[in-house]
Amino acid sequence: MTSIVVLGQRCAVAELDATIGHLEERRLEQLALVARLSAAGKDAAPVRTLLRLTEDYLACLRQSRSLLLWTLPQQNPCPGVPPAATGRDAAGLRPRLAE
């Protein structure tokens, strides 16, 4: 039986996945805008600053996602979710968190 906490963690992971996906799209748009501005000889510094902030935010969200996956129980009761999405290796062991 799955606890409310585990269900909440899984929902949080799903929300993080969606947010990360959206921000990755925004990052690609920002990269393209920097390239267009640079090619046109215009100042791309403000967009580069925004791009750095976006990349920092993405790194924080990815770290949060990794931590949530690391804390989830070992079993994978969700059909259709690949075992790799549980944050464990093939043996079912949790990887060490980066310091």
pLDDT, tens digit, 9 for 90 and up, residues 59-85: 999 999 999 999 888 655 555 555 555
Q: pLDDT at residue 95 above 70?
A: no
- The CA dihedral of 19, 56, 24, 88, to the nearest 10 degrees, is -70
Domain boundaries, the chain: 4-86
Contacts of 67 (CB under 8 A, 6+ apart): 97
Q: Kindly state the helix (H) or strand (E) to which residue 2 belongs, with its residue range.
A: none
User: What is the pLDDT at residue 72?
Assistant: 85
User: What is the pLDDT at residue 92?
Assistant: 55
Is residue 58 within 8 Å of 24, Cβ to Cβ? Answer: yes
CA-CA distance, 9 to 68, in Å (whole number)? Answer: 7
User: What is the pLDDT at residue 56?
Assistant: 97
Average pLDDT over residues 11-33: 96
